[in-house]
């Protein structure tokens, strides 16, 4: 099964939940953590995996054969991303704008456009004890995380329970991460900001037909807005982690909750059982 | 000659739009007759590559020069590859700008005058 851990608001505890789940399950089934936050990966910090392979991620960008080009401009007309411009005797490509869709090379009547790979990031994989691990890193200055996230998800082990640590927010990288998962756990905090971003995250999950449930982190602070919203929307609250300074202190030392306080592992196993049951039913509400 | 001017509305008394790539309208003005064609700038709300798209539009319209407030690096690269000189620092109505251009009050730039994405910040930030 593929379980995505997302949030909406950043800093709510996605990685804490993802890594704690992995450590709590590692003795019961094959588990794999995929760090899909390729702009700011951090799941490797509490897990400390030993990496054994890494590979560049490339996006195909157009290369124009000046001998064959007739400067007809059809490639420029068809490009949705303004990555190619044509004047009477010149073709300019803008590789950083190119999304690698291949339309230009497809429509070129002279067959003058071929594709070459432009490196945008890397994916690495390895192991943290019994937990398999893979993660990606987008090169600094690159605007599009999608291709690297897809490369990370491509390393998913179909025989394992795959836990996707999603990026914060609700835009393209998050959609790319959550899409196709069997279930999405939304980690939130019981505050107005937490609630505001949670509602958007729920909309995203529903839009792409991924059933979701909520984990409330730092419970005990803030207000009951999140609880009331979840009750009203029929979204199950599957775990509550209290606001406890000791949890924050341990995390700052690089120890995730299930490692610093092993008594929590049973709770995470029960969380996983609930998720598996809900995913089987496949209900969104 | 055909002069492309970035404008805030589709007529000669409109104010010049100081941004090129994300301007609202592109006016192509015939400097002898003052006849003009106005089109909505297709690049105005492009998610990316607005300078490229606006420059391509101007080239496709057969402009001989661009007069604007500022021009970013992608637009500048496309226009200079096409041999279209770019003149910046203009302000006032399109009509006045074209008159000033004909009097030779502008010099062509040798490099972009705005940083990437400046047009998205209202054309004021560098």
pLDDT range class, residue B125, cuts 50, 70, 90: very low
d(CA A6, CA A117): 31
Of residues A81, A87, A143, nearest to B59 (C-beta): A87
Task: Quote the pLDDT of residue B115.
Answer: 87
Distance of CA B33 to the CA centre of its chain: 19
Task: Quote the pLDDT of residue B47.
Answer: 86
CA distance from start to end of chain A: 20
Residue A51: closest CA among A136, A125, A154: A125
- pTM here is 0.82
- The CATH number given to whatever domain includes residue B44 is 3.30.420.130
Are B90 and B73 in contact, with CB atoms under 8 Å apart? no
Report the topology of domain A59-119. Alpha-Beta Plaits (3.30.70)
Q: Looking at domain A2-57+121-281, which CATH architecture does it have? A: 3-Layer(aba) Sandwich (3.40)
Task: Quote the pLDDT of residue B41.
Answer: 96
Structure tokens at B96: 């006045």
Q: Which residue of B has its CA nearest to A99?
A: B48
Chain-wide mean pLDDT for chain A?
Answer: 95
Pairing relationship of beta strands B25-30 and B2-7 according to DSSP bridges: antiparallel
Ramachandran angles phi, psi of A278, nearest 5°: -65, -40
What is the DSSP secondary structure assignment for residue A85, as one 8-state letter? E
Cβ separation A92–B56 shorter than 8 A: no
Which residues in chain A come in under a pLDDT of 70? 283-285
Q: Is there a domain that residue B114 lies in?
A: no
**Chain A residues touching residue B21 (CB < 8 angstroms):** none
| DSSP H/E element including B87 | strand B86-87
Pairing relationship of beta strands A90-93 and B65-67 according to DSSP bridges: unpaired
Task: Using a CB–CB cutoff of 8 Å, tell me whether A97 touches chain B.
Answer: yes
Q: Is there a domain that residue B116 lies in?
A: no
Q: Is there a domain that residue B120 lies in?
A: no
Task: Quote the pLDDT of residue B121.
Answer: 72
Q: Is there a domain that residue B121 lies in?
A: no
Those residues whose C-beta lies under 8 Å from the C-beta of residue A76, and which sit 6 or more positions away, are: A84, A85, A86, B56
**Chain A residues touching residue B74 (CB < 8 angstroms):** 94
d(CA A85, CA A73): 8
Ramachandran angles phi, psi of A185, nearest 5°: -90, 125
Ranges assigned E (strand) in chain A: 2-6, 31-35, 50-64, 84-87, 90-93, 113-128, 131-138, 161-165, 183-188, 212-219, 237-242
Task: Using a CB–CB cutoff of 8 Å, tell me whether A93 touches chain B.
Answer: no
Task: Using a CB–CB cutoff of 8 Å, tell me whether A76 touches chain B.
Answer: yes
**Chain B residues touching residue A94 (CB < 8 angstroms):** 49, 52, 74
Q: Quick one: CA torsion of A41, A47, A48, A53, rounded to 10 degrees? A: -70
Chain-wide mean pLDDT for chain B?
Answer: 93
Cβ separation B56–A86 shorter than 8 A: yes
Q: Is there a domain that residue B86 lies in?
A: yes
Q: Is there a domain that residue B61 lies in?
A: yes
Q: What pLDDT, in 10s, does the model give residues B14-53? A: 999 999 999 999 999 999 999 999 999 999 989 889 999 9
* Residue A214: strand pairing partners: A186, A237
Of residues B48, B55, B82, nearest to A97 (C-beta): B48
d(CA B19, CA A275): 52
Task: Using a CB–CB cutoff of 8 Å, tell me whether B75 touches chain A.
Answer: no
Q: What pLDDT, in 10s, does the model give residues A22-61? A: 999 999 999 999 999 999 999 999 999 999 999 999 999 9
**Chain B residues touching residue A97 (CB < 8 angstroms):** 48-49, 52
d(CA A6, CA A247): 20
- Please give the tally of structural domains in chain B: 1
Task: Quote the pLDDT of residue B122.
Answer: 61
Structure tokens at A35: 């760090």
Q: Please identify among residues 117-176 of chain A the ones whose CB lies closer than 8 Å to any CB of chain B.
A: 143
Cβ separation B56–A90 shorter than 8 A: no
CA distance from start to end of chain B: 31
d(CA A115, CA A54): 23
d(CA B46, CA B55): 13
Cβ separation A82–B49 shorter than 8 A: yes
**Chain A residues touching residue B52 (CB < 8 angstroms):** 82-83, 85, 92, 94, 97
Task: Using a CB–CB cutoff of 8 Å, tell me whether B3 touches chain A.
Answer: no
For A16, half-sphere exposure in the C-beta direction (CA atoms, 13 angstrom radius) is 27
Classify residue B32 by burial, with Cβ atoms within 10 Å: 0-12, 13-18, 19+.
exposed
Task: Using a CB–CB cutoff of 8 Å, tell me whether B55 touches chain A.
Answer: yes
């Amino acid at each position: 099964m593929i379980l995505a851990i997302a949030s909406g608001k950043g800093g709510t505890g996605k990685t804490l939940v993802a890594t704690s789940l992995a450590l709590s399950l590692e003795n019961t089934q094959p588990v794999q953590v995929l760090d899909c936050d390729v702009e700011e990966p951090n799941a490797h910090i509490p897990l400390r995996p030993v990496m054994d392979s890494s590979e560049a991620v490339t996006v195909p960008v157009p290369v124009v054969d000046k001998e064959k080009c007739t400067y007809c401009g059809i490639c420029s007309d068809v490009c949705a991303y303004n990555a190619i411009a044509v004047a009477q005797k010149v073709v300019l490509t803008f590789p950083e704008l190119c999304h690698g869709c291949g339309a230009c090379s497809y429509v070129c009547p002279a067959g003058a456009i071929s594709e070459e790979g432009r490196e945008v990031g890397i994916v690495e994989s390895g192991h943290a004890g019994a937990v398999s691990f893979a993660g990606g890193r987008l090169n600094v200055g690159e605007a599009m995380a999608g291709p690297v996230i897809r490369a990370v998800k491509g390393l998913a082990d179909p025989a394992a329970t795959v836990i996707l640590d999603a990026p914060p927010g609700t835009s393209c990288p998050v959609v790319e991460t959550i899409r196709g998962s069997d279930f999405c756990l939304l980690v939130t905090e019981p505050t107005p900001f937490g609630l505001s971003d949670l509602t958007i995250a729920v909309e995203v999950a529903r839009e792409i037909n991924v059933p979701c449930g909520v984990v409330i982190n730092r419970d005990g602070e803030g207000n009951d807005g999140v609880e009331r919203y979840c009750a009203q929307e029929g979204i199950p609250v599957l775990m509550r982690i209290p606001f406890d300074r000791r949890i924050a202190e341990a995390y700052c030392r690089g120890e995730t909750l299930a490692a610093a306080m092993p008594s929590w592992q049973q709770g995470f196993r029960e969380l996983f059982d609930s998720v598996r049951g809900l995913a089987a039913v496949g209900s969104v509400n | 000659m055909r002069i492309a001017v970035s404008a805030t509305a589709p007529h000669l008394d409109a104010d010049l739009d100081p941004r090129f790539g994300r301007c609202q309208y592109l006016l192509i003005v015939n400097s002898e007759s003052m006849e003009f064609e106005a089109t909505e700038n297709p690049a105005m709300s492009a998610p990316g590559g607005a300078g490229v798209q606006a420059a391509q539009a101007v080239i496709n319209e057969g402009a001989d020069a661009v007069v604007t407030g500022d021009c970013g690096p992608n637009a500048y690269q496309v226009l200079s590859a096409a041999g279209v000189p770019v003149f910046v620092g203009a302000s006032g109505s399109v009509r006045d700008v074209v008159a000033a251009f004909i009097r030779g009050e502008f010099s062509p730039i040798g490099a972009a005058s705005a940083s990437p994405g400046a047009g998205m910040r209202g054309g004021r930030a560098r």
